[in-house]
């Protein structure tokens, strides 16, 4: 990572958080703990399109992400080797083919035994692709646990008669055996919903739902109980930026009013790493940023810092094991 006091943050070709390019790290035969890659794809949206432009916008805003975490007292880049793997190819006219296409790209990144995959969407349909690639590398035979930040459950069976969209990645992942709904936490969920039955699937399958309202009462305790049950089991973290209130993150395609503030989200993310032993996060994504609705870049800037917080959780865990 270039020294910002010698090489300015506003100069050069932008990579995520100024981490080196994957090909440069590979050329030096250095291991890569996390490969971050963009997925410029938004054919899965049910409302406003434009998330295909997010990887580029987040790279630009992420130039201002610094490596030292002042709350965790942790120098991220001393613990983890991080790299920007560029953008995945996509198939914008075919959602199902896109999942296979992105999963195939992700599967080729870094060392399949050790490199963890961080997808930067794109709409939420791309989570299924990164889950497939992550499950194949890091899960063994069991399904992964899932920590899901979102205003929506994303377990809709069909939209416009189709099984793949940004409303369906987790119902498909459960059906494919990639994630275990009994080890799935959906946090920040809120209404209004399309119908009183919208929560039925997740409830019936044992998903832990912590709504926006729960967070003001027993939500944090239930989060801690989930993490305790999780233990060391490999977990995937998916973060839909629409869990944040549009006042803080206006640049998203399905905005949901009454969400978390930026600082409330950081308190929750940091709680994951401090209340119990930090979770074993083996893959992650950040999705649903819509730059056209984000004229000041605040949503992309926030997204870049959420990525940093998630990476710090893995760094915390590795530090505690040292």
Binding site for Mn ion (CB under 5 A): 124, 150, 154, 240
Q: Nearest 5°: phi and psi at 51? A: -70, -10
Taking the least distance from each CB to Mn ion, the nearer of 110 and 251 is 251
User: In a 10 Å sphere around its CB, with 0-12 CB exposed, 13-18 middle and 19+ buried, how is residue 64 labelled?
Assistant: middle
Min separation Cβ 184 and Mn ion, Å: 14
**Separation of alpha carbons 247 and 265, rounded Å:** 14
Taking the least distance from each CB to Mn ion, the nearer of 242 and 294 is 242
Min separation Cβ 242 and Mn ion, Å: 6
Min separation Cβ 201 and Mn ion, Å: 15
Min separation Cβ 274 and Mn ion, Å: 26
**Among 108, 152, 133, 127, which residue's Cα sits nearest to residue 39?**
127
Min separation Cβ 146 and Mn ion, Å: 12
**Separation of alpha carbons 135 and 132, rounded Å:** 5
Query: For the stretch 223-253, what's the b/e string if a residue is b when 16 or more beta carbons lie within 10 angstroms of its beta carbon?
Result: beebbeebeebbbbbbbbbbbbbbebbbbbb
Taking the least distance from each CB to Mn ion, the nearer of 124 and 132 is 124
**Separation of alpha carbons 187 and 220, rounded Å:** 10
């Amino acid at each position: 990572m270039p020294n910002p006091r010698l090489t300015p943050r506003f100069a050069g070709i932008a990579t995520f958080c100024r981490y080196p390019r994957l090909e440069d790290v590979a050329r030096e035969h250095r291991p890569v703990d996390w490969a971050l890659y963009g997925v410029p794809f938004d054919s899965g949206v049910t409302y406003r399109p434009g998330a295909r432009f997010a990887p580029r916008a987040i790279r630009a805003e992420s130039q201002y992400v610094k490596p030292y975490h002042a709350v965790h007292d942790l120098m991220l880049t001393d613990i983890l080797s991080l790299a920007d793997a560029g953008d995945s190819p996509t198939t914008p006219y075919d959602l199902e083919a896109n999942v296979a296409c992105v999963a195939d790209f992700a599967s080729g990144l870094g060392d399949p035994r050790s490199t963890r995959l961080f997808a930067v969407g794109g709409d939420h349909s791309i989570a299924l692709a990164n889950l497939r690639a992550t499950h194949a590398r890091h899960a063994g035979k069991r399904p992964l646990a899932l920590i899901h930040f979102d205003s929506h459950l994303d377990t809709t069976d069909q939209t416009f008669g189709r099984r793949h969209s940004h409303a369906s990645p987790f119902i498909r992942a459960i059906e494919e055996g990639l994630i275990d709904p009994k080890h799935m936490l959906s946090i920040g969920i809120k209404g209004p919903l399309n119908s009183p039955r919208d929560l039925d699937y997740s409830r019936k399958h044992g998903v832990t739902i912590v709504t926006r309202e729960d967070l003001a009462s027993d939500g944090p305790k239930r989060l801690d109980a989930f993490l305790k049950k999780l233990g060391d089991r490999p977990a995937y973290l998916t973060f839909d930026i629409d869990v944040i209130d549009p006042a803080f993150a206006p640049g998203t395609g399905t905005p949901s009013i009454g969400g978390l503030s930026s600082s409330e989200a950081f308190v929750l993310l940091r709680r994951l790493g401090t209340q119990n032993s930090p979770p074993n996060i083996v893959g992650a994504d950040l999705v649903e940023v819509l730059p056209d609705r984000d004229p000041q870049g605040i949503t992309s800037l926030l997204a870049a810092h959420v990525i940093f917080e998630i990476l710090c959780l893995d760094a915390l865990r590795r530090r505690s094991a040292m």
